Structure 1
């Protein structure tokens, strides 16, 4: 493992909790506990903020293997070591590449339709920010950040300003698009709330949900899909590659959207071949 994911350049000090990428408050507390634990030990992380550590093992290799197994059992994302014993072994250069390897078109065309990593996302039908009917399939050739939210959802509203800021930072990246679809309310209500109350100018898309209590999303073939099949909680975010394949799923608000910019750019540069 260490040979495959060893540092390519200078790394942060071991004690720098803030340097560990994508950890929430609970993850940071877990890393502090790791620092105090006895060897042999290993701390694993995965894109999306998942983390695991194991300590008091018979060897470095045993600690690393145990932590990796525990980590991988609970996430579809690839787990990698951040620290082993008292050394940071994290490779920051390789970190944004972990959504790969990306499927070739022939592989993507054969992929099962579904919501898990490596599956082809269902072909939702919606209206783009200009009000034109479109589908997810029409966005093939672009990396899509697909975000399910609602103006009635407090965590969604808290997250929205940073989501908008990140989208603005990527406006020059034409191969990356943000598609934000409102849930369980009509488009006019959602759009008005964002503009008037959050004071944000954000190019939102219309899920075609017509109002409160409505929870079914249209697909391009005329069928419908219950929103809870796509999102266990709101907000929920998917990242879909240029061939329509799921790269990433996050249930709930994302802690720091800016930490995903390098991932999105890597997917834009290397997927779709």
Structure 2
């Protein structure tokens, strides 16, 4: 089943079940209550509130959003908003508010990275970086210097984070990642793997030490400043732009190494992703 058909089926299910969605206790005009929404999205929500009926505001994990107003029916408003939202994300877009009512299903929200692939489905997955792909098997080194590869990380959920000390947004995001690392703990079934890009490992480690960070820095294998290629486990090289067109870039891999979430740019409020990480840790690889 291709992704276009999957999206159309999702639209049909959302439209059919809209009346069954449980509302949360948030006030209809409270933009601060909307998860993963940045300042631009909050402004969009205020515009939505001022629009004519029928209207719908939809969101997706990672911060994608869209709204439609002055539509003939609530169903057409929801469907139109979802279609627009899906153009900017691989994550499923779901209704947050319809007309003057918050219909957000908070219980379902943290499950939206699923459904997760079975072992057989994961074995057949295309190699790449898109949602549903098996991520590239990069040759890397552990924080202790041991040679390893990305496929060695299977069995746990992996937050694969590409960054560099030369990247201001990367540096600003580090305290958030440090907080996430502490909140996860050692027994969470989730591992952070930070890989420096376009600089050597010693430079990245020295900067982290100066900032008193205790994050699990892994070595991407880059030896010289400005190097724009990475090495795969089979010895071949691959341009780093295959991983990221901008930095930082993050991928979440399930227990089989399948991409379930990706994000370009820094993430505000990494703690909001804890329920998602716990869901994939509990349900993937079964």
> Under TM normalisation by the shorter chain, which class is it?
over 0.9
What's the TM-score once normalised by structure 1's chain length? 0.97
Q: Compare 132-141 and 168-177 and name the one that shifted more.
A: 168-177
Q: Which residue of 1 is the match for residue 98 of structure 2?
A: 84
Output one character per residue of 1:170-193: Cα deviation in whole Å (capped at 9) or x when no partner: 014341000000001111110111
Do structure 1's residue 159 and structure 2's residue 173 form an aligned pair?
yes
What's the TM-score once normalised by structure 2's chain length? 0.92
Q: Which residue of 1 is the match for residue 126 of structure 2?
A: 112
Q: Which residue of 2 is the match for residue 204 of structure 1?
A: 217
Output one character per residue of 1:115-147: Cα deviation in whole Å (capped at 9) or x when no partner: 110011010110111111111111111100000
Output one character per residue of 1:47-93: Cα deviation in whole Å (capped at 9) or x when no partner: 11000000000111111111111112221110100000000000111
Please state how far the C-alpha of 1:9 moved relative to its aligned partner: 6.2
Given that 1:144 and 1:239 are in contact with CA atoms closer than 8 Å, whether structure 2 keeps it comes out as yes
Please state how far the C-alpha of 1:199 moved relative to its aligned partner: 2.3
Q: Which residue of 2 is the match for residue 239 of structure 1?
A: 252
Runs of 4+ with >3 A deviation? 2-10
Whole-angstrom CA distance in 2 between matches of 1:175 and 1:9: 31
Given that 2:24 and 2:103 are in contact with CA atoms closer than 8 Å, whether structure 1 keeps it comes out as no
Please state how far the C-alpha of 1:155 moved relative to its aligned partner: 0.2
Whole-angstrom CA distance in 1 between matches of 2:32 and 2:41: 10
Whole-angstrom CA distance in 1 between matches of 2:222 and 2:53: 54
Please state how far the C-alpha of 1:97 moved relative to its aligned partner: 0.2
Do structure 1's residue 255 and structure 2's residue 261 form an aligned pair?
no
Q: Which residue of 2 is the match for residue 100 of structure 1?
A: 114
Whole-angstrom CA distance in 2 between matches of 1:108 and 1:50: 26
Q: Which residue of 2 is the match for residue 144 of structure 1?
A: 158
Q: Whose helix proportion is higher, 1 or 2?
A: 2
How many residues of Structure 1 are paired with residues of Structure 2 in the alignment? 272
Instruction: Identify the match of residue 65 of structure 2 among 51, 58, 61.
Output: 51
Output one character per residue of 1:29-51: Cα deviation in whole Å (capped at 9) or x when no partner: 11111111111000010111000
Please state how far the C-alpha of 1:2 moved relative to its aligned partner: 5.8
Q: Which sections of structure 2, spanning at least 5 residues, go unmatched?
A: 1-13
Q: Compare 198-207 and 178-187 and name the one that shifted more.
A: 198-207
C-alpha distance 38-64 of structure 1, shift in aligned 2 (>3 A): same
Q: Which sections of structure 1, spanning at least 5 residues, go unmatched?
A: none
Whole-angstrom CA distance in 2 between matches of 1:10 and 1:178: 32
Q: Report the RMSD for the aligned CA atoms in angstroms.
A: 1.3
Given that 1:11 and 1:90 are in contact with CA atoms closer than 8 Å, whether structure 2 keeps it comes out as no
Q: Which residue of 1 is the match for residue 149 of structure 2?
A: 135
